Amino acid sequence: MDLNDTPEQAAYRARARAWLQENRAQAPVLSGPGALTEEAEIIAARRKWQGRLAEGGLAGVTWPEDYGGQGLGPVEQVIAGQEISRAGVPGILDAIGVGMLGPTIIAHGSEEQKARYLGPMLHGEEVWCQLFSEPAAGSDLAAIQTRARRAEDGSWVLSGQKVWTTNAQFASFGLLLARTDPDVPKHNGLTMFVVPMDAPGVTVRGLRQISGEAEFNEVFFDEVHLPADADVGGVGNGWRTALTTLMFERVTIGLGGEGLGYDPLRFARALLAAGAQRDPLVRKRLGEIAAELTAVRFTGYRVLTALQQGQIPGPEAGLAKVTTVNSAIAAGDLIAEVLGPDALASESEWAYMISFLPGLKSAGGTEEILRNTIGERVLGLPAEPRLDKGVPFSELRAKETAAQ
Ligand SMILES: Cc1cc2nc3c(=O)[nH]c(=O)nc-3n(C[C@H](O)[C@H](O)[C@H](O)COP(=O)(O)OP(=O)(O)OC[C@H]3O[C@@H](n4cnc5c(N)ncnc54)[C@H](O)[C@@H]3O)c2cc1C
């Protein structure tokens, strides 16, 4: 644990542990004997379980009490995660909604939006998705082309395409970044919207991954009508609103192995069970992985301390993400070398981690982009050259072509 709980935090941990002890029999079984197999059944069971976790005070831990949360700090949120993983039960289904989009609505949404959306989101009654990335706008998110135009009556008409949208296949709503003014520099003409995923003109198409899952999707918008008050945070303020979401995303992923469950002891147990501890090279590689993950865990605690004191964490959360993902990939490679093809068999506890992790290199900021940020903001290296400063979005293509 190593969190040095204060007496209040220790009391919260004890309450969380007792609640989980009492309620764990209600948790859906997702692996091993008796595991649910049908996707629809799994989603329904996980939504219900999220509702129970919210009632037990283990979801929305940092959300204000007015919106159903616990009004506690990020340390208590980590404590809840630790206790959930200790109890061996699944966490919440809608980590994107509760961890990133809900806090964005809390920070920038209208009172009506907060009252309408936050409760059902927290209790898993309505799952949300993040409609940011597009085929030509991932790392360069401000280059998005999905357009929202004002109709004469003040409502909006949305057209365009998003990609990599996790959970869109069962989401009720999405938080979507759209271009509302192409005639100003690209960061200025953006607006964030709430989009009902069952609105006429929304089409969701699944993308199957190497892990066999189809967790994310392409989403198409064909003249989708949105009400005049569907914007979150004001027209033209989309970039500011998006930065709030991205900050919560970095922090969620940047807290590292803690949140994602990449525990060096778990890796060591697998290697021990295969008798590989006799090989000095295996021991050396495991030692390196354990050292990196332990260091990143304490970096995560520094991020937590900053958050707990009301500060905004710096680029170190990005550094933690890069290190966590690379160390977990190194652990997956080592386990695959020791176990051989069995590591990727469908019943192997490692198959999902090994095939999913390369994708996590891109999710929440790619390694190259995070390294650029660390280079510029931590090491003080010169910034990348930029062609887009002060240029209206509608003139950018011509400027880029002229520069080639
Ligand atoms: C598992 C997973 C889940 C995701 N879920 C969602 C979701 O729910 N909602 C959502 O909106 N998005 C989601 N994404 C998308 C994610 O945010 C993007 O993958 C990410 O922003 C990178 O964008 P891209 O894939 O378009 O890559 P690109 O930006 O096209 O980058 C391609 C390559 O070029 C490199 N590169 C780009 N620019 C530079 C530069 N300036 N300097 C050096 N190298 C550069 C990148 O590092 C990368 O290696 C998800 C992605 C994954 C993998």
Q: Kindly state whether residues 374 and 272 are assigned to the same domain.
A: yes
In a domain, 264, yes or no: yes
In a domain, 1, yes or no: no
CA of 139 to the centre of ligand 1 (A): 5
- Ligand 1 pocket residue status of 368, Cβ below 6 Å: yes
In a domain, 139, yes or no: yes
From 162, 195, 362, 388, give the residue whose CB has the most ligand 1 atoms within 8 Å, as the site to mutate.
362
Query: Which one from 83, 126, 134, 249 is the annotated catalytic residue?
Result: 249
- Ligand 1 pocket residue status of 132, Cβ below 6 Å: yes
Q: Which residue's C-alpha comes closest to atom 50 of ligand 1?
A: 363
Q: Kindly state whether residues 203 and 277 are assigned to the same domain.
A: no
- Ligand 1 pocket residue status of 138, Cβ below 6 Å: yes
From 213, 361, 369, give the residue whose CB has the most ligand 1 atoms within 8 Å, as the site to mutate.
369
pTM reported for the whole predicted model: 0.92
CA of 348 to the centre of ligand 1 (A): 29
In a domain, 111, yes or no: no
Q: Kindly state whether residues 344 and 301 are assigned to the same domain.
A: yes
Tokens of 88: 């061996």
In a domain, 112, yes or no: no
Closest by CA position to 117, among listed 214, 230, 215, 22: 230
Report how far residue 303's alpha carbon sits from residue 313's, in angstroms, rounded to the nearest whole number. Answer: 6
Q: Kindly state whether residues 172 and 230 are assigned to the same domain.
A: yes
Per residue in 314-356, pLDDT (tens digit) is: 777 778 888 889 999 999 999 999 999 999 887 788 988 898 8
pLDDT attached to residue 260:
66
Q: Kindly state whether residues 282 and 344 are assigned to the same domain.
A: yes
- Ligand 1 pocket residue status of 323, Cβ below 6 Å: no
Boundary (domain end) residue, out of 203, 237, 271: 237
Q: Domains in the chain: how many in total?
A: 3
Q: Which residue's C-alpha comes closest to atom 32 of ligand 1?
A: 139
Domain, as residue range, for 132: 128-237
Q: Go through 89-114 and write b for each residue having 16 or more CB atoms within 10 A of its CB, e for each that does not.
A: bbbbbbebbbbbbbbbbbebbeeebb
Closest by CA position to 163, among listed 128, 138, 134: 134
Q: Kindly state whether residues 82 and 147 are assigned to the same domain.
A: no
- Ligand 1 pocket residue status of 130, Cβ below 6 Å: yes
Q: Kindly state whether residues 261 and 372 are assigned to the same domain.
A: yes
Q: Which residue's C-alpha comes closest to atom 48 of ligand 1?
A: 366
Q: Kindly state whether residues 272 and 232 are assigned to the same domain.
A: no
Boundary (domain end) residue, out of 43, 77, 93: 93
- The residues pairing with 174 across neighbouring beta strands, listed in sequence order, are 129, 195
Q: Which residue's C-alpha comes closest to atom 20 of ligand 1?
A: 138
Q: Which residue's C-alpha comes closest to atom 12 of ligand 1?
A: 133
Q: Kindly state whether residues 221 and 266 are assigned to the same domain.
A: no
The answer to whether 349 is a known catalytic residue is no
136 residue type, one letter: A
Main-chain phi, psi angles of 95, to 5 degrees: -65, -30
How do 173-179 and 231-232 pair as beta strands? Answer: unpaired
In a domain, 176, yes or no: yes
- Ligand 1 pocket residue status of 133, Cβ below 6 Å: yes
Q: Kindly state whether residues 140 and 188 are assigned to the same domain.
A: yes
The enclosing domain of 374 has a CATH number of: 1.20.140.10
Going residue by residue through the chain, which has 404 residues, state the pLDDT in tens, using 9 for 90 and above.
Answer: 457 789 999 999 999 999 999 999 999 998 777 889 898 999 999 999 999 999 999 999 999 999 999 999 888 998 999 899 889 999 999 999 999 999 999 999 999 999 999 999 999 999 999 999 999 999 999 999 999 999 999 999 999 999 999 999 999 999 999 999 999 999 999 999 999 999 999 999 999 877 777 788 999 999 999 999 999 999 999 999 999 998 888 777 656 455 566 888 889 999 999 999 899 999 999 999 999 999 988 888 888 888 888 777 677 777 888 888 999 999 999 999 999 999 988 778 898 889 888 888 888 889 899 899 889 988 899 988 888 888 999 988 766 666 66
In a domain, 233, yes or no: yes
Q: Kindly state whether residues 296 and 364 are assigned to the same domain.
A: yes
pLDDT attached to residue 331:
95
What DSSP state is assigned to residue 315?
T
Could you tell me if 57 and 64 are in contact, meaning their C-beta atoms sit under 8 angstroms apart? Answer: no
CA of 325 to the centre of ligand 1 (A): 15
In a domain, 384, yes or no: no
pLDDT attached to residue 259:
56
3-state SS, residue 267: helix
CA of 36 to the centre of ligand 1 (A): 32
Q: Kindly state whether residues 345 and 288 are assigned to the same domain.
A: yes
Name the residue with tokens 């009004």.
71
